[in-house]
Amino acid sequence: MPVTPQTLRNWKHQPQPFVMLTAWDWAIAQIVDQAGVEVILVGDSLAMVALGYANTLPLTLDQMIHHSQAVCRGVKQALVVVDLPFLTYQESIAQAIHSAGRILKESQAQGVKIEGGSPEIVETIAKLTRIGIPVMGHVGLTPQSVHQLGYKQQGKTEAEAERILKEAIAIAEAGAFALVLEHIPAPLAAQITEKLPIPTIGIGAGSACDGQVLVTADLWGLSETLPPFAKAYINGRATLTEATQAFIQDVKSRQFPPNL
Ligand SMILES: Nc1nc(=O)c2c([nH]1)NC[C@@H]1CN(c3ccc(C(=O)N[C@@H](CCC(=O)O)C(=O)O)cc3)CN21
Ligand SMILES: CC(C)C(=O)C(=O)O
Ligand SMILES: [Mg+2]
């Protein structure tokens, strides 16, 4: 049965966490969907892992729609959620509706994710939800604020932890169907998970969350550097380099192609 935002919203305190992975094109989406993940995120990290930008800020809405369309063509089971890129939702609620609306109209995605927990963002989540657009929240380390936060762990002081907990509660009350907790201490993520009526999805937030998310380029060992919380399950760079060099050798030694 295909996963919907409602399926996910009800996935709370289950014995087994659900899994979300990122995808940025059709082949990757097919692989992770057929492997059995519950959610596929067209994450704006694609700016870095697929397009080579230094951070997620340059990505445009048109680029995101182009990648989302490709991802959706490869997915049969998983719920597809798309990150709204930097400055495609922060300017006004009207801008957020326009951007989220284009994602849902121009791809088959069923939800959008937006970063932050300020009163403005909470109001935007409430408005999008009221007009029928499922929204996933994202607090803790929010990479679109890299020039303010860097990529450091968030919520280390008592005051910061309290602020993140309050943001999480406000986002849930605004109607978000799930919430990403990025790079915060495990006890804080456990406390938020306990208190929220909606599922939490951790990345660098410990094992108590209702779901876990990873950037697929990190899982596959394709990234040049790994965040401290990520784990590569295959050395993709080395494995693909070896295959490429074997091909180069075969051509140079006339072992490839075969003479049919
Ligand atoms: N491939 C990839 N994986 C990710 O998880 C990811 C992205 N890209 N792009 C957007 C953000 C950036 N992320 C990152 C990147 C680096 C650190 C990291 O190295 N943190 C160090 C300190 C860095 C600092 O002080 O500036 C740490 O010890 O927390 C953490 C999260 C997570 N997100
Ligand atoms: C890491 C996840 C949560 C994300 O926002 C992304 O990949 O862009
Ligand atoms: Mg993102």
Nearest CA to ligand 1 atom 12: 143
In 3D, which of 100, 81, 92 has the Cα closest to residue 138?
Answer: 81
Could you tell me if residue 255 is inside a domain?
no
In 3D, which of 80, 85, 77 has the Cα closest to residue 22?
Answer: 80
Could you tell me if residue 242 is inside a domain?
no
pLDDT at 168 exceeding the cut of 90: yes
Could you tell me if residue 46 is inside a domain?
yes
Could you tell me if residue 130 is inside a domain?
yes
Nearest CA to ligand 2 atom 5: 43
Q: Is 213 in the pocket of ligand 2 (CB under 6 A)?
A: yes
Say how many domains are in the chain: 1
CATH number of 164's domain = 3.20.20.60
Nearest CA to ligand 2 atom 7: 43
Spell out where the chain has E strands.
18-22, 39-42, 79-83, 111-113, 135-140, 178-182, 200-203, 211-214
Instruction: Examine the residue annotation and report whether 182 is marked as an active-site residue of this protein.
Output: yes
pLDDT in tens, 101-117: 999 999 999 999 999 99
8-state DSSP, 151: T
State the Cα–Cα distance between residues 187 and 166, nearest whole angstrom.
15
Identify which of 21, 151, 156, 215 to mutate to test ligand 1's pocket (most ligand atoms within 8 A of the CB).
151
pTM here is 0.98
Atom nearest to 44 CA in ligand 2: 8
Q: Which residues are annotated as a binding site for 3-methyl-2-oxobutanoate?
A: 44-45, 83, 113
Q: Is 21 in the pocket of ligand 2 (CB under 6 A)?
A: no
Could you tell me if residue 206 is inside a domain?
yes
Could you tell me if residue 230 is inside a domain?
yes
What is the domain range of residue 16? 5-235
* Mean pLDDT of the region 10-18: 94
ipTM greater than 0.95, yes or no?
yes
pLDDT in tens, 169-213: 999 999 999 999 999 999 999 999 999 999 999 999 999 999 999
